[in-house]
Structure 1
Amino acid sequence: MPRALSVDLRKRVIAAIEAGASCRQAAKRFGISASSAIRWHALSKARDDVAPQRQGGDRRSKRIEGHADTILGELARTPDITLVDLRNSLAGQGIAVSVAGLWRFFERRQITLKKSPGMRPSRIAPTS
Protein backbone atom coordinates (compact mmCIF):
# COMPACT_ATOMS: atom_id res chain seq x y z
CA MET A 1 0.00 0.00 0.00
CA PRO A 2 1.42 3.39 -0.89
CA ARG A 3 2.22 5.77 1.90
CA ALA A 4 0.58 9.16 2.33
CA LEU A 5 2.57 12.19 1.25
CA SER A 6 4.03 14.34 4.01
CA VAL A 7 2.09 16.99 5.87
CA ASP A 8 4.82 19.50 5.01
CA LEU A 9 4.24 18.99 1.28
CA ARG A 10 0.51 19.24 1.74
CA LYS A 11 0.88 22.53 3.62
CA ARG A 12 3.17 23.97 0.94
CA VAL A 13 0.65 23.05 -1.78
CA ILE A 14 -2.20 24.65 0.18
CA ALA A 15 -0.07 27.77 0.79
CA ALA A 16 0.62 28.04 -2.95
CA ILE A 17 -3.09 27.72 -3.74
CA GLU A 18 -3.99 30.34 -1.14
CA ALA A 19 -1.29 32.63 -2.59
CA GLY A 20 -3.18 32.68 -5.88
CA ALA A 21 -2.10 29.62 -7.87
CA SER A 22 -4.74 27.29 -9.21
CA CYS A 23 -4.87 23.73 -7.86
CA ARG A 24 -3.48 22.40 -11.15
CA GLN A 25 -0.64 24.93 -11.20
CA ALA A 26 0.30 24.09 -7.61
CA ALA A 27 0.17 20.38 -8.40
CA LYS A 28 2.46 20.79 -11.38
CA ARG A 29 4.87 22.95 -9.37
CA PHE A 30 5.21 20.38 -6.56
CA GLY A 31 5.06 17.28 -8.78
CA ILE A 32 1.83 15.77 -7.48
CA SER A 33 -1.42 14.90 -9.20
CA ALA A 34 -4.02 17.59 -9.74
CA SER A 35 -6.66 15.50 -7.99
CA SER A 36 -4.51 15.35 -4.85
CA ALA A 37 -4.13 19.13 -4.81
CA ILE A 38 -7.87 19.56 -5.30
CA ARG A 39 -8.68 17.09 -2.49
CA TRP A 40 -6.16 18.67 -0.12
CA HIS A 41 -7.55 22.12 -0.84
CA ALA A 42 -11.10 20.94 -0.14
CA LEU A 43 -9.88 19.18 3.01
CA SER A 44 -8.17 22.32 4.28
CA LYS A 45 -11.37 24.32 3.73
CA ALA A 46 -13.56 21.71 5.43
CA ARG A 47 -11.55 20.98 8.55
CA ASP A 48 -8.54 23.34 8.61
CA ASP A 49 -6.20 20.36 8.61
CA VAL A 50 -4.47 18.54 5.79
CA ALA A 51 -3.01 15.63 7.79
CA PRO A 52 -3.66 12.27 6.18
CA GLN A 53 -6.13 9.92 7.80
CA ARG A 54 -5.21 6.42 8.93
CA GLN A 55 -4.88 3.91 6.12
CA GLY A 56 -5.87 0.27 6.16
CA GLY A 57 -7.12 -1.57 9.17
CA ASP A 58 -10.25 -3.50 9.83
CA ARG A 59 -13.42 -1.85 8.65
CA ARG A 60 -15.86 -4.75 8.62
CA SER A 61 -15.52 -6.57 11.93
CA LYS A 62 -18.05 -4.36 13.70
CA ARG A 63 -20.77 -5.82 11.49
CA ILE A 64 -20.17 -9.36 12.76
CA GLU A 65 -19.44 -8.12 16.30
CA GLY A 66 -23.02 -6.85 16.44
CA HIS A 67 -24.16 -10.48 16.31
CA ALA A 68 -21.64 -11.79 18.85
CA ASP A 69 -24.29 -12.97 21.32
CA THR A 70 -26.10 -14.94 18.61
CA ILE A 71 -22.89 -16.53 17.33
CA LEU A 72 -21.63 -17.46 20.78
CA GLY A 73 -25.08 -18.75 21.73
CA GLU A 74 -25.14 -20.97 18.67
CA LEU A 75 -21.69 -22.25 19.56
CA ALA A 76 -22.82 -22.98 23.13
CA ARG A 77 -25.83 -24.94 21.82
CA THR A 78 -23.68 -27.02 19.45
CA PRO A 79 -20.05 -27.03 20.65
CA ASP A 80 -18.75 -29.21 17.79
CA ILE A 81 -20.33 -27.19 14.99
CA THR A 82 -18.21 -26.50 11.91
CA LEU A 83 -17.76 -22.99 10.56
CA VAL A 84 -19.75 -23.87 7.43
CA ASP A 85 -22.64 -25.23 9.51
CA LEU A 86 -22.48 -22.18 11.75
CA ARG A 87 -22.58 -19.89 8.72
CA ASN A 88 -25.61 -21.77 7.34
CA SER A 89 -27.36 -21.62 10.71
CA LEU A 90 -26.77 -17.87 10.93
CA ALA A 91 -27.95 -17.41 7.35
CA GLY A 92 -31.21 -19.08 8.38
CA GLN A 93 -31.57 -16.35 11.00
CA GLY A 94 -30.91 -13.63 8.43
CA ILE A 95 -27.27 -12.98 9.38
CA ALA A 96 -24.96 -13.05 6.35
CA VAL A 97 -21.36 -13.84 7.30
CA SER A 98 -18.50 -15.62 5.60
CA VAL A 99 -16.51 -18.56 6.90
CA ALA A 100 -13.40 -16.34 6.91
CA GLY A 101 -15.28 -13.71 8.90
CA LEU A 102 -16.30 -16.31 11.45
CA TRP A 103 -12.72 -17.54 11.60
CA ARG A 104 -11.46 -14.03 12.40
CA PHE A 105 -14.31 -13.56 14.90
CA PHE A 106 -13.20 -16.62 16.86
CA GLU A 107 -9.53 -15.74 16.47
CA ARG A 108 -10.11 -12.31 18.07
CA ARG A 109 -11.65 -14.09 21.06
CA GLN A 110 -8.94 -16.75 21.07
CA ILE A 111 -11.55 -19.48 20.71
CA THR A 112 -10.10 -22.52 19.02
CA LEU A 113 -12.21 -25.46 18.00
CA LYS A 114 -10.08 -28.54 17.87
CA LYS A 115 -11.30 -31.88 16.66
CA SER A 116 -11.01 -34.61 19.21
CA PRO A 117 -9.77 -38.01 18.06
CA GLY A 118 -12.62 -40.33 17.14
CA MET A 119 -11.22 -43.48 18.65
CA ARG A 120 -7.97 -44.91 19.91
CA PRO A 121 -5.82 -46.81 17.43
CA SER A 122 -6.34 -50.54 17.49
CA ARG A 123 -3.52 -52.66 18.79
CA ILE A 124 -4.55 -55.72 16.77
CA ALA A 125 -5.44 -54.42 13.33
CA PRO A 126 -5.41 -51.01 11.65
CA THR A 127 -8.74 -49.22 11.71
CA SER A 128 -9.99 -47.05 8.94
Structure 2
Amino acid sequence: MARAYSQDLRDRVIDAALSGVSSARGSAGHFGIGVATAIVWVRRARQTGDRKAHKQGAARPRKLEPHRDFLLALIDDTPDLTLDELLARLLDTHGVTVARSTLWTFLDRCGLTFKTYGPPRLQAILSRAPIDQSASTYPASEHAPSRDGDTRGPVLIKTAASSTIF
Protein backbone atom coordinates (compact mmCIF):
# COMPACT_ATOMS: atom_id res chain seq x y z
CA MET A 1 0.00 0.00 0.00
CA ALA A 2 1.28 3.47 -0.85
CA ARG A 3 2.23 6.00 1.76
CA ALA A 4 0.05 8.98 2.49
CA TYR A 5 1.06 12.29 0.91
CA SER A 6 2.74 14.81 3.20
CA GLN A 7 0.58 17.18 5.19
CA ASP A 8 2.39 20.12 3.61
CA LEU A 9 1.37 18.99 0.10
CA ARG A 10 -2.22 18.48 1.25
CA ASP A 11 -2.34 21.97 2.70
CA ARG A 12 -0.89 23.57 -0.46
CA VAL A 13 -3.39 21.78 -2.74
CA ILE A 14 -6.35 22.65 -0.51
CA ASP A 15 -5.25 26.28 -0.05
CA ALA A 16 -4.81 26.76 -3.80
CA ALA A 17 -8.27 25.33 -4.53
CA LEU A 18 -10.10 27.12 -1.72
CA SER A 19 -8.48 30.49 -2.36
CA GLY A 20 -9.77 30.51 -5.93
CA VAL A 21 -6.31 30.49 -7.53
CA SER A 22 -7.26 27.25 -9.27
CA SER A 23 -9.82 24.50 -9.12
CA ALA A 24 -9.21 21.14 -7.48
CA ARG A 25 -8.37 19.75 -10.93
CA GLY A 26 -5.99 22.62 -11.64
CA SER A 27 -4.31 22.19 -8.26
CA ALA A 28 -3.88 18.49 -8.95
CA GLY A 29 -2.14 19.21 -12.25
CA HIS A 30 0.02 21.95 -10.73
CA PHE A 31 1.21 19.83 -7.79
CA GLY A 32 1.44 16.55 -9.70
CA ILE A 33 -1.13 14.48 -7.83
CA GLY A 34 -4.19 12.59 -9.00
CA VAL A 35 -7.30 14.57 -9.88
CA ALA A 36 -9.55 12.32 -7.78
CA THR A 37 -7.19 12.73 -4.81
CA ALA A 38 -7.31 16.53 -5.02
CA ILE A 39 -11.10 16.52 -5.41
CA VAL A 40 -11.53 14.35 -2.30
CA TRP A 41 -9.16 16.53 -0.25
CA VAL A 42 -10.86 19.78 -1.26
CA ARG A 43 -14.38 18.36 -0.76
CA ARG A 44 -13.47 17.12 2.73
CA ALA A 45 -11.88 20.47 3.62
CA ARG A 46 -15.00 22.35 2.46
CA GLN A 47 -17.49 20.07 4.21
CA THR A 48 -15.75 19.27 7.50
CA GLY A 49 -12.61 21.39 7.61
CA ASP A 50 -10.54 18.22 8.00
CA ARG A 51 -7.18 18.30 6.24
CA LYS A 52 -5.45 15.34 7.87
CA ALA A 53 -4.82 11.98 6.25
CA HIS A 54 -7.12 9.25 7.46
CA LYS A 55 -5.77 5.95 8.65
CA GLN A 56 -5.18 3.59 5.74
CA GLY A 57 -6.64 0.11 5.63
CA ALA A 58 -9.60 -1.34 7.39
CA ALA A 59 -9.61 -2.73 10.91
CA ARG A 60 -9.22 -6.46 10.61
CA PRO A 61 -11.17 -8.63 13.03
CA ARG A 62 -9.04 -10.99 15.07
CA LYS A 63 -10.28 -14.52 14.64
CA LEU A 64 -8.89 -15.86 17.93
CA GLU A 65 -10.02 -13.00 20.18
CA PRO A 66 -13.36 -14.70 21.07
CA HIS A 67 -11.35 -17.77 22.19
CA ARG A 68 -8.79 -15.82 24.23
CA ASP A 69 -9.90 -17.10 27.64
CA PHE A 70 -9.99 -20.71 26.42
CA LEU A 71 -6.49 -20.54 24.94
CA LEU A 72 -4.91 -18.77 27.90
CA ALA A 73 -6.53 -21.19 30.36
CA LEU A 74 -5.31 -24.11 28.27
CA ILE A 75 -1.77 -22.73 28.33
CA ASP A 76 -1.93 -22.11 32.08
CA ASP A 77 -3.03 -25.71 32.64
CA THR A 78 -0.52 -27.24 30.22
CA PRO A 79 2.30 -24.78 29.49
CA ASP A 80 4.36 -27.20 27.40
CA LEU A 81 1.83 -27.49 24.56
CA THR A 82 3.17 -26.98 21.07
CA LEU A 83 1.50 -24.74 18.53
CA ASP A 84 0.24 -27.78 16.65
CA GLU A 85 -1.33 -29.19 19.82
CA LEU A 86 -2.98 -25.84 20.55
CA LEU A 87 -4.34 -25.75 17.00
CA ALA A 88 -5.69 -29.30 17.34
CA ARG A 89 -7.42 -28.53 20.66
CA LEU A 90 -8.89 -25.34 19.25
CA LEU A 91 -10.28 -27.30 16.30
CA ASP A 92 -11.62 -30.13 18.50
CA THR A 93 -13.23 -27.87 21.09
CA HIS A 94 -14.48 -24.90 19.07
CA GLY A 95 -14.22 -26.02 15.45
CA VAL A 96 -11.94 -23.09 14.62
CA THR A 97 -9.22 -23.56 12.01
CA VAL A 98 -6.43 -21.00 11.82
CA ALA A 99 -2.91 -20.96 10.47
CA ARG A 100 0.00 -21.57 12.79
CA SER A 101 1.21 -18.02 12.13
CA THR A 102 -2.17 -16.63 13.26
CA LEU A 103 -1.89 -18.50 16.55
CA TRP A 104 1.72 -17.39 16.94
CA THR A 105 0.77 -13.74 16.39
CA PHE A 106 -2.10 -14.06 18.87
CA LEU A 107 0.18 -15.57 21.52
CA ASP A 108 2.79 -12.90 20.88
CA ARG A 109 0.16 -10.19 21.40
CA CYS A 110 -0.78 -11.90 24.66
CA GLY A 111 2.84 -11.67 25.81
CA LEU A 112 3.54 -15.38 25.47
CA THR A 113 6.58 -16.71 23.69
CA PHE A 114 8.25 -20.04 23.06
CA LYS A 115 11.54 -20.55 24.84
CA THR A 116 13.82 -23.53 24.42
CA TYR A 117 15.49 -24.75 27.58
CA GLY A 118 18.10 -26.74 25.72
CA PRO A 119 21.59 -25.35 26.31
CA PRO A 120 23.30 -26.71 29.45
CA ARG A 121 24.29 -23.20 30.50
CA LEU A 122 20.65 -22.09 30.43
CA GLN A 123 19.53 -25.27 32.21
CA ALA A 124 22.04 -24.51 34.96
CA ILE A 125 20.74 -20.99 35.32
CA LEU A 126 17.16 -22.21 35.51
CA SER A 127 17.92 -24.89 38.05
CA ARG A 128 20.32 -22.62 39.97
CA ALA A 129 22.97 -25.34 39.66
CA PRO A 130 26.66 -24.58 39.08
CA ILE A 131 27.58 -24.02 35.44
CA ASP A 132 29.76 -26.64 33.77
CA GLN A 133 32.49 -24.54 32.15
CA SER A 134 33.57 -27.45 29.95
CA ALA A 135 30.31 -27.30 28.00
CA SER A 136 31.32 -24.91 25.24
CA THR A 137 28.84 -26.15 22.65
CA TYR A 138 25.14 -26.65 23.07
CA PRO A 139 23.63 -29.41 20.95
CA ALA A 140 20.18 -28.45 19.72
CA SER A 141 18.82 -31.84 20.71
CA GLU A 142 19.31 -31.33 24.45
CA HIS A 143 16.16 -30.06 26.09
CA ALA A 144 14.98 -29.83 29.63
CA PRO A 145 12.36 -32.51 30.23
CA SER A 146 8.80 -31.36 30.74
CA ARG A 147 6.65 -32.49 33.63
CA ASP A 148 5.91 -35.75 31.78
CA GLY A 149 9.56 -36.45 30.97
CA ASP A 150 9.01 -35.34 27.39
CA THR A 151 12.13 -33.76 25.93
CA ARG A 152 10.41 -31.31 23.61
CA GLY A 153 12.24 -28.04 23.90
CA PRO A 154 9.78 -25.23 23.36
CA VAL A 155 7.41 -24.26 26.13
CA LEU A 156 5.21 -21.21 26.49
CA ILE A 157 6.30 -18.71 29.08
CA LYS A 158 4.80 -15.39 30.05
CA THR A 159 6.79 -12.27 29.32
CA ALA A 160 6.48 -8.86 30.94
CA ALA A 161 3.91 -7.82 28.33
CA SER A 162 1.52 -10.61 29.29
CA SER A 163 -0.22 -8.44 31.85
CA THR A 164 -1.00 -5.84 29.19
CA ILE A 165 -4.44 -6.11 27.65
CA PHE A 166 -4.83 -4.56 24.22
TM-score calculated relative to the size of structure 2? 0.54
Aligned residue type for 2:112: Q
Distance 1:96 1:41 in 2: 45
User: Matched residues in 2 for 1:18 and 1:46: separation?
Assistant: 12
User: Deviations 1:71-115 (Å, cap 9, x if unpaired)?
Assistant: 112223443322123223223404443211211222231332546
For residues 87 and 48 of structure 2, what CA distance do their matches in structure 1 show? 42
Q: Which amino acid aligns with 2:28?
A: A
More strand by share: 2
Within the alignment, does 1:75 sit opposite 2:75 as a pair?
Answer: yes
**RMSD between aligned residues:** 3.0
Give the match's secondary structure for 2:90: helix
Q: Deviations over 1:17-70 (max 9, x none)?
A: 2234332221001111112212212332454221223558xx547543343211
Correspondence 1:12 to 2:7: no
Quote the Cα distance in structure 1 between the aligned partners of 2:91 and 2:24.
50
Unaligned runs of 5+ in 2: 117-142, 152-166
Distance in 1 (alpha carbons) for counterparts of 2:89 and 2:46: 49
Helix, strand or coil at the partner of 1:111? strand
Question: Structure 2: how far apart are the matches of 1:43 and 1:29?
Answer: 20
For these two proteins, the number of residue pairs brought into alignment is 117
Residue aligning to 1:100: 101
Please identify runs of 4+ aligned residues in structure 1 that moved more than 6 A.
none
Q: Percent identity?
A: 37
Matches of 2:104 and 2:10, distance apart in 1: 40
Change in Cα spacing, 1:50 to 1:91, as seen in structure 2 (3 Å) is: farther
**Unmatched runs of 5 consecutive residues or more in structure 1:** 120-128
Letter in 2 for 1:100: S
More helix by share: 1
Cα distance in 2, alignment partners of residues 66 and 45 from structure 1: 42
